[in-house]
Amino acid sequence: MSEFLPIGEWADQAVNFLLENDSGTFGALGTFVGSLTELVEQALMFIPSWVLAVVLTALAFRRVGWRFALFCAAAVVVIIGTGFWNATMATLALVISATLISLMVGVPLGIWTAKSRLAAYFVRPSLDFMQTMPAFVYLIPAAMLFGLGKVPGVLATVIFAMPPVVRLTSLGIRQVNSEQLEAGVTFGCTPWQLLFKVQIPGALPSIMAGINQTIMMALSMVIIASMVGAGGLGNDVLTSISRLDIGLGFESGLAVVLLAIIVDRMTESFGVARPTKA
């Protein structure tokens, strides 16, 4: 079989080129991501598990309702009882740092694509690429550029999880009621005032939905990221696969599911609690 388009070779060369000509940017980026993740994890580990459990349950009661609060309490008991608390917190720390970075980049990018056709022209296909390229593939260059550990895991997660928040921010900004925009302009808003006083508040429900989606995608990706040594629940899942250990697989998998449900409902509640009707 003769291949006349050695795209794979080019990608390989591109990554090697980056490696050889790196003047410290990857190092700096790695340090930043690494310390952020470390900080979040330290904070989560520092808080005793029962305190976090109580706070979580109380929050669930306030934001969602007593049934969900009950579910949260039960879920925490299951996670602690199966001995996965520390691994779950490590995973949560990865998710939180990956989400924070995704939002720092994704929200401005979404606003920019909403305002500039040129930006949309370039960003949209990139988002398609980021979302559909099999998630494992990011891990290879990430590991080569940043070594093994949490940093490549978080960065691969960022790439995989960022598209929803970009898309939904952009959509939200574009869908702000045109008379509300006119009202903003009429009363003498500068473009920045219009953005912060009318467009972003108007787009907030959509942005919150995007954040929720980003968090859920990050959660699924950090499990896969354990392949490059990101740690957390993913490690246990990975071990269970290599050992064909059904018990370990089920327990660690269950912890992932419980974490996902809690995170999803919680972030969703922050989205709908805002008054969205005009």
Residues near other proteins (CB under 8 A): 177, 179-180, 182-190, 193, 197-198, 201-202, 204, 274-278
Name the minimum Å distance from CB 274 to other proteins. 7
Nearer residue to other proteins within complex by CB, 128 or 179: 179
3-state secondary structure the chain: CCCCCCHHHHHHHHHHHHHHCCCCHHHHHHHHHHHHHHHHHHHHHHCCHHHHHHHHHHHHHHHCCHHHHHHHHHHHHHHHHCCCHHHHHHHHHHHHHHHHHHHHHHHHHHHHHHHCHHHHHHHHHHHHHHHHCCHHHHHHHHHHHHCCCHHHHHHHHHHHHHHHHHHHHHHHHHCCCHHHHHHHHHCCCCHHHHHHHHHHHHHHHHHHHHHHHHHHHHHHHHHHHHHHCCCCHHHHHHHHHHHCCHHHHHHHHHHHHHHHHHHHHHHHHHHHCCCCCC
Nearer residue to other proteins within complex by CB, 163 or 184: 184
Nearer residue to other proteins within complex by CB, 152 or 172: 172
Nearer residue to other proteins within complex by CB, 184 or 232: 184
Name the minimum Å distance from CB 208 to other proteins. 12
Distance, CA of 102 to CA of 105 (rounded, Å): 5
Nearer residue to other proteins within complex by CB, 67 or 274: 274
Name the minimum Å distance from CB 107 to other proteins. 17
Which pair of tokens denotes residue 78?
């299951």
Name the minimum Å distance from CB 196 to other proteins. 11
Name the minimum Å distance from CB 192 to other proteins. 11
Residue matched to tokens 């952020």: 36
Distance, CA of 56 to CA of 66 (rounded, Å): 12
* Max Cα-Cα span within the chain: 67
Name the minimum Å distance from CB 226 to other proteins. 40
Nearer residue to other proteins within complex by CB, 132 or 186: 186
Name the minimum Å distance from CB 185 to other proteins. 6
Nearer residue to other proteins within complex by CB, 48 or 275: 275
Name the minimum Å distance from CB 278 to other proteins. 5
Nearer residue to other proteins within complex by CB, 185 or 248: 185
